Amino acid sequence: MREVKVAKSAGFCFGVQRAVDMVYEEASKADNTDRKVYTLGPVIHNEQVVSDMESRGVYVVEDTDSIEDGPGTTVIIRSHGVPKDVINTLKEKNVNIADATCPFVSKIHHIAEEKYNEGYHIIVVGDAKHPEVEGICGWCKNSADVIGSMEEALNYNSHKDKKLCIVSQTTFNYKKFQDIVDIFLKKSYDILV
């Protein structure tokens, strides 16, 4: 008989596990009440888990317009995070916000916002269509440039007069990230990584 060994690191990363746990906790609190629980986008890229959450009364929505206003509503921010204006909209709707943004992603949000406010131009290395990258861009007033490949980095010639702050999507390939940063260094940009 064959033995199956499961790696110690199998399963969700801690940020996703934290978000999943938060959804189940909020769903449990809302059970048998009039409270509504929403997630902005699927909290995880796993259809079985998302279906199970929906069966427990969690609504998966793609925008804030689909969310009921008021204190009887809880909105869970998924681990990818969201742009700052989405947080502000939720506050205006007077809903409870359960922020499950991965701490690593939150740190990038704060760096992007801080450095943008200090006059840096923000470069996000990653996939422009990924929700995490969209969220990061929203913390620097959507002014960031997104670089997803070495070719894009080689062709980049903007903002020579500004200091650049380069951040990365947390799941982006680290070697590719280093190679892209090296391209910016060779072009003599004044960069902060």
Strand, helix or coil at 70? Answer: coil
**C-alpha to C-alpha distance for 109 and 125, rounded to whole angstroms:** 13
**C-alpha to C-alpha distance for 102 and 115, rounded to whole angstroms:** 20
Chain centroid to CA 149: 20
Q: Which of 113, 132, 134, 152 is catalytic?
A: 132
Angle separating helix axes 14-30 and 103-117, nearest 10 degrees: 100
Instruction: List phi, psi (to 5°) of 49.
Output: -65, -45
Active site residue 132: yes
Question: Catalytic amino acids?
Answer: 132
